[in-house]
Amino acid sequence: MSFLWPASLWLLPALLLLPLAYLGLLRRKRRLAVRYSSLAVVREAAGPRSWRRHLPPALLLVAFAGLLLAAARPVARIPLPWARTTVLLVMDVSLSMRVTDVQPTRLAAAQDAAKLFLRELPKDIEVGLVTFAGSTQVAQAATLDRTSLVAAIDGFQMQMGTAVGNAIVVALAELFPDHGLDVGDMTFGSKRPQGRSLDDKDKPPPRQVAPVPPASYESAAIILLSDGRRTTGIDTLAAAKMAADRGVRIDVVGLGVVSGEAASVEGMPIYLQLDEPTLREVARMTGGEYHHAGTAETLRKVYANLGSRVQVLARETEITGLVALVSALVAVVAAGLSVLWFGRVA
């Protein structure tokens, strides 16, 4: 737990003096008690129920301490329902996804894990799907329709190349359509030879955003799966910086071989090596988590855990109201016990 210390903490010395003041009051009462002619009164005061005299003041002191703690505006990490309403699955569909080191194939394992993830999510969270290889497509815009998402997952089309950075930028363009993010302009600049429509002149220029803390954007997050290193397109870490500046969290799943080896898909040689250092850095920069999945079972567990964490996430939350409420209840209990035992609020 951490605290936001306000100016009201000058009351702290006064709170520390309260126990001393109470002890001084008890001594004064003892000196007055010896003047009584009846020793029965003294015995009653010192009897087995004498603790009752001290309990209400002790509770009241605890209540004062709690109120002072509330004035310090305490902040604690508490599991809370996730406020995000959109999750984008960004999935690698390069030819290496047909390799069978993850059974039955990397592609089939990734499809099964993505469907499991959809089943784990609350129905009120929108999910979108972006696929990438040498090029990047929005396979399904964010929707609540799980049937459409499953159909898009089952319809993956394999391609050559791995443009991880492009995929991140396209996902950001889906989340921030008014930011003017365009993969073509970032890749080719003003010399892009073709592909511009007559409406391109009406597109807003790329917006310059003021960086915000990583993972602070409360409306969406990205889950990125890749089984290789970038071979084309925008630099992966440059794209991750764009996500971090916008506060978008990226959880990364690395699938397949870390060390690197050669394989052949449909007679075409493919070099397999997971760029784990870069993928870890993407997660770190954006406040996300990195997971390596070397088997289909591990991949399913990763996606199941991500689905559960999307629902409940530990976040720093101010608990001033809770502490003040508990302190008020303790003060009420102290007053109630005093009235019950002594007929007055003492």
Which tens digits make up the pLDDT trace of 58-82?
A: 888 788 778 777 777 777 766 555 5
**Is residue 53 located within the same domain as residue 86?**
no
In terms of domains, do 20 and 128 share one? Answer: no
Is 199 within a domain? no
* 173 shares a domain with 227: yes
- Supply the pLDDT for residue 29: 60
**Structural domain includes residue 144:** yes
User: Do the domain assignments include residue 309?
Assistant: no
Is 307 domain-assigned?
no
Count helices and strands in the chain by DSSP H and E runs: 11, 11
Query: Would residue 34 count as lying in a domain?
Result: yes
Please tell me whether residues 158 and 251 are part of one structural domain.
yes
pTM: 0.64
Of 294, 309, 330, the position where a domain reaches its end is 294
Yes or no: say if 71 and 11 are a contact pair by the CB < 8 Å rule.
Answer: yes
Average pLDDT of the residues in 88-115: 90
Q: Which domain holds residue 275?
A: 82-187+206-294
Q: What is the pLDDT of residue 241?
A: 96
Evaluate whether 132 touches 163 at the Cβ level (below 8 Å): yes
Q: If we measure between CA atoms, which residue out of 50, 346, 21 comes closest to residue 42?
A: 50
Residues 242 and 333 in one domain: no
Residue 194 lies in a domain: no
d(CA 3, CA 72): 6
Cβ contact 177:204 at 8 Å? no
Is residue 243 domain-shared with residue 261, that is, in the same domain?
A: yes
Distance CA 132, CA 331 (A): 61
Is residue 288 in a domain?
Answer: yes
Q: Is residue 38 part of a domain?
A: yes
Quick one: 151 and 274 in the same domain? yes
Our count of domains for the chain comes to 2
Q: CATH number for the domain including 90?
A: 3.40.50.410
Residue 100 or 308, more confident: 100
Note whether 172 and 277 are same-domain residues: yes
Residues 227 and 239 in one domain: yes
Q: How many Cβ atoms sit within 10 Å of the Cβ of residue 153? A: 22
Banded model confidence at residue 271, pLDDT cuts 50, 70, 90: low
pLDDT score at 23:
65
Q: What is the mean pLDDT of residues 155-168?
A: 93
Answer yes or no: do 172 and 279 share one domain.
yes
Residue 189 has pLDDT above 60, yes or no: no
Residues 88 and 64 in one domain: no
Is residue 338 domain-shared with residue 214, that is, in the same domain? no
